[in-house]
Amino acid sequence: MQSNDSLRKLNAKLLTEIAELRKKFSEIKIENDELKDKNTEIPELRSSLRLGLTERAELKARIAELLKQGLEENQRRDAENTKLKARIEELESENEFRDRITKVEQRQMLNNPKGNNSSNNNSSNFNLVADQVPMVTHHEKPLVDTSLPEKLIPEGLPEVTVSTVNIPECYQTSLEDMETDAFLDEVHKPSLSSSSSL
């Protein structure tokens, strides 16, 4: 049998261990409560994560759609710009042609101020101008004829007034008819020269 002292020591030792175990138990309980709180947060976090992923996918789809629309709009605008540039070049070449015709007409008026031009003289002069004017397609850059002077009227000459000239109807031609004649002459010139060489 053990003595009372040894039993008391053993009892005191066991009481100390029990106190430590209670302390550890209370710490573990606190940790457990904290983990329970965190476990309740996890489903909320998962739910918000799912919502975030869904929103992200929707935003990606919207961005892709906007990029596609922007690309299509840029392509449409580029095509429209190309058409407009071609039209501008065409109009510029037409304006240049009209300016040259006007300069030739002014030169003829200066050379023959009394209106003594015969119809043959007019048509041959026009054909001469038509030969000097290059045929311009929509995509070519118009050529500049440097043989025509920039300044048509010298400063020392008096201003010439031109009275109305009555030209018989058979000799009256519009600018459009003159342009057509010049074009046809230009087109048929190579075929005429090749047939005359035979």
Token pair recorded at residue 89: 């070049």
Note whether residue 68 is domain-resident: yes
Say what the pTM is: 0.33
Tens digits of per-residue pLDDT, 161-190?
544 545 555 455 677 778 888 888 777 776
At residue 148, does pLDDT exceed 60?
no
Tens digits of per-residue pLDDT, 3-17?
888 889 989 999 999
Tens digits of per-residue pLDDT, 36-50?
888 777 788 888 889
Residue 129: exposure state from Cβ atoms within 10 A (0-12, 13-18, ≥19): buried
Note whether residue 39 is domain-resident: yes
Tens digits of per-residue pLDDT, 42-76?
788 888 889 999 999 999 999 999 999 999 999 99
Instruction: Specify the number of domains making up the chain.
Output: 1
Tens digits of per-residue pLDDT, 132-142?
544 444 444 44
**Residue-range definition of the domain harbouring residue 47:** 35-90
Note whether residue 52 is domain-resident: yes
Note whether residue 177 is domain-resident: no
Note whether residue 65 is domain-resident: yes
Measured between alpha carbons, how far is 88 from 98 in angstroms, rounded to an integer? 15
Tell me, what's the pLDDT at 196? 55
Token pair recorded at residue 164: 């109305």
Measured between alpha carbons, how far is 179 from 91 in angstroms, rounded to an integer? 15
Q: Contact 137/93 with Cβ under 8 angstroms? A: no
Residue 101 one-letter amino acid? I
Give me the half-sphere count of Cα atoms (radius 13 Å) on the Cβ side of residue 99.
15
Note whether residue 44 is domain-resident: yes
